[in-house]
Amino acid sequence: MTINWVIASNNRGKSHDLALCLAYYGLAAENYLSQASRLVFPTETTTSYVENALTKAEFAAQQLQRPVIADDSGIELPALPDILGVTTARDLGEQTSGGDRNAEILAALQAVPAAQRQAVMRSTLAVAWPDGRSLTTQATVTGFIAENQIGNYSGGFDRLFWLPQFGRTLAELPDQWRLPVTHRGQAARKLVEQLKQMKG
């Protein structure tokens, strides 16, 4: 499959997951770093997923002079209302590894009963073209935070995110089950549909 799209992110793990989601719906993409030098993206200063994703996409589209896809995502826990969400990376530390972030969340929820460990993961995808055009899609997945990190099919918050309908965490689901139900996978489906409509 010909690679037509690049993903505007310096996070290779997130880029890999997004590329899998897009490929599931027939759109080939790869991290921009496979084709260009590393960019220094504008610092995220807003509390809007849409603004953050658009800022990254529009910046990269101008720098690379080609269409790009960017993602802004976060995890929200009603039991921890003052942290996480759109500022997840800022709250837990940009350089903190996925495993360490998960450990911090588990520690913060240690005294919270299972029924109150609800969680939502949100993803906003933005496409930007060098001529100034753009579009965005958004999606969520709801579940609970598990008592421990479980699963090896994927990493990051997937190892904490327990889905009642499967009785497993996202990371316990192979890609053919996981990708369609994740926040990023659902946003990717909507994005591919919009791009097809534009061509049609």
Catalytic residues: 72
Record the tokens describing residue 79, joined without a space: 């039991």
Maximum alpha-carbon separation in the chain = 53
Distance set, CA 111 to CA 79, 80, 81, 163, 187 (Å) = 10, 12, 15, 21, 33
Residue 19, helix vs strand vs coil: helix
**Spatial separation of the C-alpha atoms in residues 182 and 142, rounded to whole Å:** 9
Length of the chain, in residues? 200
Q: For 7, list phi and psi in degrees, rounded to 5.
A: -105, 125
Q: For 104, list phi and psi in degrees, rounded to 5.
A: -65, -40
- Which residues, including other chains, have CB under 8 Å from residue 13's CB and lie 6 or more apart? 98, 155, 156
